Amino acid sequence: MTPLRVALAAAVVLAPSITAGQGPAGSAAAAGGGPACLEVIAHRGASGYLPEHTLPAYALGYGQGAGWIEPDVVLTADGVAIALHDVTLDRTTDVAERYPDRAREDGRYYAADFTFAELERLRVVESRPGRFPHATFRVPRLTEVLDLVEGLNRTTGRRAGVYPELKSPDIQPGLGETVLDALAGYDLPILIQSFDAAALAALVTDLPRVQLIASPAQLEPAGLDEIAGYAVAIGAPTVLIYRDPAIVARAHERDLAVHAYTLRADQLAPEFDSLAAEVEALIAAGVDAVFTDHPDQVLALAAAHGAACSPASEAGADPR
């Protein structure tokens, strides 16, 4: 069975168990002052179960009910936008085995030094101990991820979105424009994120943007004021939110949603003894959405706290 068929099978098998789909992040809240609606973002797909940034991982995340599928995006030597977390290939592929003589002087293998045709020979490997044991799947184009989510939306009737991250746009000229060109061909809810504030603010687009927090200074009033000028949300580390839950209120005062990263069932924050306790803390803080490697578990915990989101029926709903 090809990787795409595996991906589709995963979604089809799991989708019937979903009781409530997700809509654009932060778009719904419980009525009457109840608990916030916690949107769930499949971080690099359902990467706790299958290797990150592969079509099967994305399909599994969709099938588990995540409202957003998150591909990180970098460019190849021939300008193809691919789903890959790092600008290098070493950590998540078998590149050193297949192209042993293609490393740069620093010993690293850069995606920008390979054409997409060359990358198709690679197999994605799991970088975290104890997770998926096989090197079976390949590095996908961004358009393949978009095809997958748009196609599953059509066949399931859901409105899941895609949440691409621009990776290191300062060293990848044209990345933002390439991603925008790819997105233009699809009818999908979209959020665009980056740590690079200058690149994110400079994007010429009406699509909503999310500023990932690289420095605590960005969470001070002046920093949030600046972000509110071009973004609809911030992506903040869970550790900062646990330390100072008032971050959420300060962001909300500026009409910025708060998306927390990253929950992992197999790597808890030091101050917590369970994933349930982490989810409870984020809901209590008023967080709007959360990135997670384990969408099914976080969705179940959100539902147990009355914070499950209702399905969105229209694309382009308010991302708050």
* Torsion-angle region of 200 (φ positive above 0: left; ψ -120 to 50: alpha; else: beta): alpha
pLDDT at position 1 over 70 = no
pLDDT at position 297 over 50 = yes
* Whole-number average pLDDT of the chain: 89
Comparing 260 with 5, the larger pLDDT belongs to 260
pLDDT at 29: 39
Comparing 18 with 118, the larger pLDDT belongs to 118
Query: Span 235-246, mean pLDDT?
Result: 97
pLDDT at position 90 over 50 = yes
pLDDT at 285: 97
pLDDT at position 294 over 50 = yes
Can you give the chain as a three-state secondary structure string?
CCHHHHHHHHHHHHHHHCCCCCCCCCCCECHHHCCECCEEEEECCCCCCCCCCCHHHHHHHHHHCCCEEECEEEECCCCCEEECCCCECCCCECHHHHCCCCCCCCCCCEHHHCCHHHHCCCCECCCCCCCCCCCCCCCCEHHHHHHHHHHHHHHHCCCCEECCEECCHHHCCCHHHHHHHHHCCCCCCECEEECCHHHHHHCCCCCCEEEECCCHHHHCHHHHHHHCCCCCEEEEEHHHHHHCCHHHHHHHHCCCEEEEEEECCCCCCCCCCCHHHHHHHHHHHCCCEEEECCHHHHHHHHHHCCCCCCCCCCCCCCCC
- Sheet containing 165-166: which strands, arranged edge to edge? 81-83, 72-75, 165-166, 192-194, 209-212, 233-237, 257-263, 289-292, 39-43, 68-70, 161-162
| 134 belongs to the catalytic site | no
pLDDT at 17: 32
According to DSSP, the residues that pair with 193 across neighbouring strands are 165, 210
Q: Are 41 and 25 in contact (CB under 8 A)?
A: yes
Q: Report pLDDT digits (tens) over 143-157.
A: 999 999 999 999 999
Amino acid at 176: G
Q: What are the backbone dihedrals phi and psi of residue 97, each rounded to the nearest 5 degrees, phi first?
A: -75, -40
Amino acid at 309: C
- 173: CB partners within 8 A, 6+ apart: none
pTM above 0.85, yes or no: yes
Other CB atoms within 10 Å distance of the CB of residue 110: 20
pLDDT at 312: 53
Query: Span 252-267, mean pLDDT?
Result: 98
- CA-based torsion, 4, 317, 40, 89: positive or negative: positive
**Confidence tier at 219 by pLDDT (50, 70, 90):** very high
Q: Please state, in angstroms and rounded to a whole number, the distance separating the CA atoms of residues 159 and 254.
A: 27
Comparing 53 with 37, the larger pLDDT belongs to 53
**Confidence tier at 15 by pLDDT (50, 70, 90):** very low
pLDDT at 32: 37
pLDDT at 205: 97
Comparing 1 with 46, the larger pLDDT belongs to 46
Other CB atoms within 10 Å distance of the CB of residue 172: 20
CA–CA–CA angle 15, 193, 54 (5° rounding): 45
Q: Please state, in angstroms and rounded to a whole number, the distance separating the CA atoms of residues 7 and 49.
A: 13
Write down the catalytic residue from 53, 85, 259, 294.
Answer: 85
pLDDT at 47: 98
Query: Span 287-305, mean pLDDT?
Result: 97
| 85 belongs to the catalytic site | yes
DSSP-derived pairing of the beta strands 233-237 and 209-212? parallel
Q: Report pLDDT digits (tens) over 190-210.
A: 999 999 999 999 999 999 999
Comparing 19 with 240, the larger pLDDT belongs to 240
Write down the catalytic residue from 43, 53, 259, 294.
Answer: 43
Please report the domains of the chain, with CATH numbers, ordered by start residue.
3-87+140-304 (3.20.20.190)
**Confidence tier at 310 by pLDDT (50, 70, 90):** confident
- Please give the radius of gyration of the chain, using alpha carbons only, rounded to the nearest integer: 19
pLDDT at position 249 over 70 = yes
* Torsion-angle region of 162 (φ positive above 0: left; ψ -120 to 50: alpha; else: beta): beta
Q: Report pLDDT digits (tens) over 156-173.
A: 999 999 999 999 999 999
